[in-house]
Amino acid sequence: MSVVICLFAKNGFDRAGQGVAGAGRRLADELGAKLQAIIIGAADAAMIDAVKTVADGVTIAAQSELSDYQSELYLSAAAQICQSLAPKAVLLSNDTYSQEIAARLAHRLGGSAAGDVTSIALHDGNVRARRSVYGGKAEAVIELKRSPAVLWIRARAFDPAPARESVADVNQAALTLGDARTRIVERKSEAITEARLEDAQIIISGGRGLGGPEPFEDLKALAALVGAQVAASRAACDSGWCPPTWQVGQTGKKVAPQLYLAIAIHGASQHLAGMSDSKIVAAINIDKDAPIFKHCKFGIVEDYRKVVPLLKEKLAAAQA
Amino acid sequence: MNLIVCLKQILDPDIPGRDFKVDPISKEAVRGAANLVTNIFCENALETALQFKEKNGTGKITAICYAPESGEDTLRKALAMRADEGVQVLNDGLAHPDPLMVARTLAAAIRKIGTFDVVMVGRESGDWGVGQTGGLLAEELGVPYVGFVDHIETSGSGVKLKRQTDAGFEIVEASTPLVISITNDEHNVPRVPKTRDVMMSFRQSLTKWTLSDLGVSASESYYEVAELGIPVKESSCELVTGETLEERVSQLAEKILAVKRAL
Ligand SMILES: Cc1cc2nc3c(=O)[nH]c(=O)nc-3n(C[C@H](O)[C@H](O)[C@H](O)COP(=O)(O)OP(=O)(O)OC[C@H]3O[C@@H](n4cnc5c(N)ncnc54)[C@H](O)[C@@H]3O)c2cc1C
């Protein structure tokens, strides 16, 4: 029996990968199973060395067709390798690629999947996964009835795995992958934020109450003064005021900074679902009854148009 | 092109938290006075399909809803938005539709409809937010799947899709038939149906199938809901004080700087 973690070479062994490995290690220990890592794509030596010290076995699928993510090929590779490892559970991160293949992987392996998982437990030998439902208004524990349990998890919320003294063997998988049927022909990154929102320490986020795209320029200026990243609510993204990659929430980024400053954001449960793990939440909102204040450590009830220019002055003065 | 859009009917996700209750026995939300609405991402999918059809000047859009009798409202609204046909699959009152069961049922309905080029689903629903229907449906139908799409156009004999990723977006070329899931974007905000079209939608007939019409029976369970509860996560907010706005904003700045200094 094994617990498999599925990693992509392109991401390196980043914080998300480490969280997946940590969750996998704890589940494997509880099951008395081995932790097997799959790396898809040509991983560099640093990644392989790091994964070798946390897993009991490593399988790399590095053939040239897998150098960049292509869903059909990555899915086929993951399914083939899993089949030879007899997993009780397969864990992936909550990036878009993992989300795209997880349910299909479960289907191919005769298992069942659950996503956006925040904790994992065993119950009578079955895997149970906790996740938020009803747009963050409720929490459910899902018992997966078929094996393997394929879970995509809020990876950064899980502690990394401790390094071990022994080092795992590394196998190269030789696979027949078949036809891609779909092909990614162009990739574009919004090179607007230099670091990932998920890794930001301070986030300044704007909502529909900003009333247009221009105020986001002021938010960017504020952010620059404190080394923060700018994010947004879905309503602001849907209005076209900022790119969809800025969206925080149930169906956006899941962030957990030290400080999340919500400006003109109402605090809908679906928005909270993406940022309620923040250490400190603060808000600027004109409405004292806005639900965001129920989740804040501090805040100000005021028109943001009056607050933001003054705040910029104060922060700039402190920096000088 | 034949487009099939799968629509889920859900409890209105905009009901405020204070009115939201769960039944610990049935492990479902209590409906109370809340409305049933079409899941927003499914409406984004229908909107994307409608724009695709308008741009190409041809094509047919069939909306499917797997739900109890109430699902008719979702289909009437889809017709009012100008979907061409509506197919209702009655779910026999099964309280907790299992993700795999939903995918098998939709796959059976799609096979019964006949030929299709693109099946569109919402990326996830506003109630259980499972986010697996598209992937499972693709496997059931034996076709490829692309997730988080916000735009579709024709390209050669297949389609060209724009889809969102964590870092930005990608352009994907795919052969048809395939399944795609749709996410929100500034261009696919669902239209509001015209009054005339709302009236027309009530004159159109819907196809209604039961599970036995489709030869689908409840199978082994994929997963079960073991617990459902409402987490309490409220904190008390300290509003900054001060006679003048200037003083209050100073305090706000000080609190922000305190966090920054502690990093
Ligand atoms: C299935 C589903 C998934 C969703 N996923 C997400 C998600 O991932 N992320 C997300 O954010 N939302 C999501 N939503 C949408 C969510 O329900 C809300 O509609 C959205 O978060 C509202 O955004 P908002 O707070 O910016 O806008 P609004 O609700 O319009 O709130 C604007 C706020 O600005 C304040 N305001 C107005 N003017 C001023 C001013 N001059 N100064 C100060 N304050 C002012 C108002 O008091 C108000 O509180 C989802 C919804 C569904 C159904």
Task: Give backbone dihedrals phi and psi of A106, rounded to 5 degrees, phi first.
Answer: -55, -45
Q: What ipTM was assigned to the predicted interfaces of this complex?
A: 0.95
Q: How many CA atoms lie within 13 A of B67 on its CB side?
A: 23
CB A87 within 8 A of CB A148: yes
Q: How far apart are CA B134 and CA B182, in angstroms?
A: 9
Q: Per-domain residue ranges for chain B?
A: 2-214, 233-263
The tokens for A128 are 């149970």
Amino acid of residue A91: L
pLDDT below 50 — which residues of chain B? none
Q: Is A148 helix (H, G, I), strand (E, B) or coil?
A: coil
Q: Where are the domains of chain A?
A: 2-172, 197-319
SS3 category, A13: coil
> Any bridge partners for residue A264, and if so which?
none
Q: Are A197 and A253 in contact (CB under 8 A)?
A: yes
Query: What's the gap in Å between the CA of A106 and the closest CA on chain B?
Result: 9
* Structural tokens at position B205: 């007939």
- What's the confidence (pLDDT) of residue B219? 75
Answer yes or no: do A318 and B229 touch at CB < 8 A. Answer: no
Distance CA A231, CA B254 (A): 22
Which pTM does this prediction carry? 0.94
B207 Cα to chain A: minimum distance (Å): 30
**For A290-318, how does the pLDDT look when each residue is reduced to its tens digit (9 = 90+)?**
999 999 999 999 999 999 999 999 999 99
| Distances from the Cα of B164 to the Cα of A100, B147, B149, B170, angstroms | 11, 8, 6, 7
Buried b (16+ CB within 10 A) or exposed e, A114-123: bbbbeebeee
Mean pLDDT per segment of 10 residues, for chain A of length 320 residues?
97 96 98 98 97 97 95 97 97 97 98 97 96 95 97 95 92 91 85 74 98 97 96 97 95 95 97 94 97 96 98 93
Instruction: Round to whole Å and give the CA distance between A47 and A11.
Output: 9
- Which residue in B has a C-alpha nearest to residue A260's C-alpha? B256
d(CA A74, CA A318): 50
Q: How far apart are CA B79 and CA B94, in angstroms?
A: 26
The predicted pLDDT at position A178 comes to: 85
Distance B190 CA to ligand 1 centre (A): 17
Residue pLDDT, tens place only, A160-206: 999 898 899 999 999 999 888 888 988 888 755 557 899 999 999 99
Q: Is the Cβ pair B224, A143 closer than 8 Å?
A: yes
Tokens of B207: 């196809």
Residue B18 pLDDT: 87
List residues near ligand 1 (CB under 6 A).
A 135, 207-209, 233-236, 247-252, 264-266, 268, 270-271, 274, 284-287, 290, 303-305; B 13, 40, 126
Which ligand 1 atom is at minimum distance from the Cα of A303?
A: 42
CATH number of B2-214: 3.40.50.620
Closest partner CB to B249 (pick from A95, A282, A310): A310
Structure tokens at A60: 């790399």
Indicate the Cα dihedral angle A92, A98, A104, A108, nearest 10°. -40
CATH 1.20.1440.230 is the classification of domain A2-172: no
Arch. (CATH architecture) of A197-319: 3-Layer(aba) Sandwich (3.40)
Q: Which of residues 115-144 of A touch B (CB under 8 A)?
A: 115-116, 123, 128, 131-135, 137-144
